[in-house]
Structure 1
């Protein structure tokens, strides 16, 4: 089943979540309680066969505008309260499941819970502005990226932060939504770098992505693989994604990768017969 959010391009009105089974017509997915007048669906996220919907509620005007966020899970019929309602948190933009807990990144906040209907803010999380999270399956380790060029991991407890990763001009990267791929002989954590304005005088550089050997990954001691040979090779990387602002990388079935860039299209990389094809623009 495919789930997407739609917006009316003519009016800007949010049309909610719709599903498609690959055969019949699209069907709208409802909420058990009607959304508020100024509440709109921003995204759908999935982990551990569970589907979540993220909404934003905007109240006030001008300098008094306030945006809060809510999280709902799909109970196979409707979207139901997942435990986060009208919360003063960042927009939940990614989710992972470590075998016991769900983990969401939401700006400066981390959300977690053991079941889809009991998600709450993790008050033990490090102080950082997070870019995304991925689970290094089949382990219970989750890797979290930040907008400050660091990485954390959670494995029963929070790790210390990694060192700050920089480009060749010693400018700190900002990381987007990461991906993990295990293709049998190697395991790779791919961390996209993107142009991100941390302040008016601090804009992070574009560098494609950093890759890490994910076997036994420990953020506190992690070092990027400068050979870029885990899912491509150095030449392919240099003529494809190197120097681009990459918003996110997504892995499917441990043999297909997609990289979504800011303004330079969608790229893919495929594993077959023991090797990766290298990045190619779609």
Structure 2
């Protein structure tokens, strides 16, 4: 599974700070109402503008924020302030996941490697109880194992979790001095991801894997290297201006989005930049390469007013002349589908399952609409050329 998430965290919610969250997940936990409603996704596959109806998703995702997604062999998981889950086959609707036998918790982060689900479990004050793992989390009688994270991270609050190349990474904040650090689980203990990633003044945003080394970004800096020894990379740095990262493990290519409208790309072997849209903060970035029949695209967040996302050809080098906005290209089947789903909402990130389903996570608070949409690729569409269904509310 792959993801790329937004830079906004509990610190930025009040004025701005960051990590994989737009708003404090603690605050979000108090805001969303845990009501499961019926699902009536009335927007049909390959629908026309004329045939479009207002989408109706489950109440759980209405007027809220989805911070992260994960999967195991049988279920999808979505992070709000608690963890919601449903079977992949759609045989049941979304419900709240009991972690360690209880639904009375707050979760600041989830992650998975496709088989094992990791959940950070805390109390309402975001005091960490532990990070738990399970290979059957969505099943009756699920077995959970604690990783003893509270002992290792006792002076910190968890900001987010990522599972990259089979390794679990944990971004934390030390409340006593407002510093940020990155740890990873080595199979036995939580250890530092490197001296360069300890006690940072800027919040951490994300971790990626390019096929040979790890990359991490804060709101101001870029780091790369082995899991326990990531070092700073100077070229794409921008004070409080780094917004997203995507890595292609097939080619080793890394793309970084910034608040000045530029994408930085090392696809040529050295860093180069392209100004995609002057004066527009670009947001999270995602490389769409699967399913195999898919036209390769680069997707990234758009601006600080219209929000939503943009897309362009995933070419080397990047060509800004291929930029498409307002749902006029590949992923949205029509402009009206885009306007009724993504427009006007801050993009938290894209996430793709191991089977290729693409999910769009949004900050939908105050919009009276939904925060999670799904897009499915049909290889038989368009006379066998393949095509995406368009966004459908979960």
- Equivalent position of 1:82 in the other structure: 193
2:242 paired residue number: 130
Matched, 1:48 2:165: yes
Match of 1:140 among 252, 255, 264: 252
Which whole-Å CA distance do the structure 1 matches of 2:321 and 2:191 have between them?
Answer: 39
| TM-score, L = length of structure 2 | 0.59
Instruction: Report the equivalent of 1:15.
Output: 129
Greater RCO, 1 or 2 (C-alpha within 8 Å, sep 6+): 2
Matched, 1:188 2:306: no
Change beyond 3 A, Cα 1:254–1:142 = farther
Pairing 1:97–2:209 present: yes
Cα pair 2:122 2:129 within 8 Å, conserved: yes
* Residue 67 in structure 1 maps to residue 196 in structure 2: no
Contact 2:276-2:323 within 8 A present in 1 as well: no
Q: CA deviation at 1:93?
A: 1.8
Cα distance in 1 between the residues matched to 2:166 and 2:189: 15
More strand by share: 1
Whether the aligned pair in 1 keeps the contact of 2:209 and 2:248 (CA below 8 Å) is no
1:56 Cα deviation from its structure 2 partner: 0.9
**Over residues 93-112 of structure 1, what are the superposed CA-to-partner deviations in whole Å (9 max), with x where a residue is unaligned?**
21211122211111101121
What displacement does 1:27 show?
2.0
The alpha-carbon deviation at position 228 of structure 1 amounts to 3.2
Task: For residue 76 of structure 1, report the CA deviation from its aligned partner.
Answer: 2.0
Q: Kindly tell me: are residues 74 and 34 of structure 1, through their superposed partners in 2, closer, same or farther at Cα, counting changes over 3 Å?
A: closer
Q: Is residue 178–residue 250 contact of structure 1 (8 Å, CA) maintained in 2? A: no
2:357–2:377 Cα contact (<8 Å) kept? yes
Equivalent position of 1:225 in the other structure? 324
Runs of 4+ that moved beyond 3 A? 123-126
Cα deviation per residue 1:192-241 (whole Å; 9 max; x = unaligned)? 226xxxxxxxxx2133101011132437x564124733223233223321
In the superposition, the TM-score normalised over structure 1's length comes to 0.81
Query: Corresponding residue for 2:376?
Result: 270
Cα deviation for residue 164 of structure 1 reads 4.8
Once the two structures are TM-superposed, the CA of residue 83 in structure 1 deviates from its matched residue by 0.8
Match of 1:26 in 2: 144
Partner of 1:169: none
Give the C-alpha shift of residue 118 in structure 1. Answer: 1.1
Larger helix fraction of residues: 2
- Aligned-pair distance for 1:146? 1.6
Aligned equivalent of 2:10: none
Matches of 1:27 and 1:222, distance apart in 2: 50
Residue-pair matches, total: 257
Residue 58 in structure 1 maps to residue 172 in structure 2: no
1: CA distance between counterparts of 2:391 and 2:234?
A: 39
SS at match of 2:338: helix
Cα pair distance change 1:231/1:180, threshold 3 Å? same
RMSD: 2.5
Q: Partners in 1 of 2:310 and 2:172 — Cα distance?
A: 31
Quick one: which of 236, 254, 271 aligns to 1:158? 271
- Preserved CA contact (<8 Å) 2:130 2:149: no
Instruction: Look up the match of 1:258.
Output: 359
Q: Corresponding residue for 2:232?
A: 121
Query: Cα gap change, 1:34/1:184 in structure 2, threshold over 3 Å: closer, same or farther?
Result: closer
Establish whether residue 178 from structure 1 lines up as the match of residue 285 from structure 2: yes
Partners of 1:279 and 1:122 in 2: how far apart?
37
For the Cα contact (< 8 Å) 1:73–1:116, is it kept in 2? yes
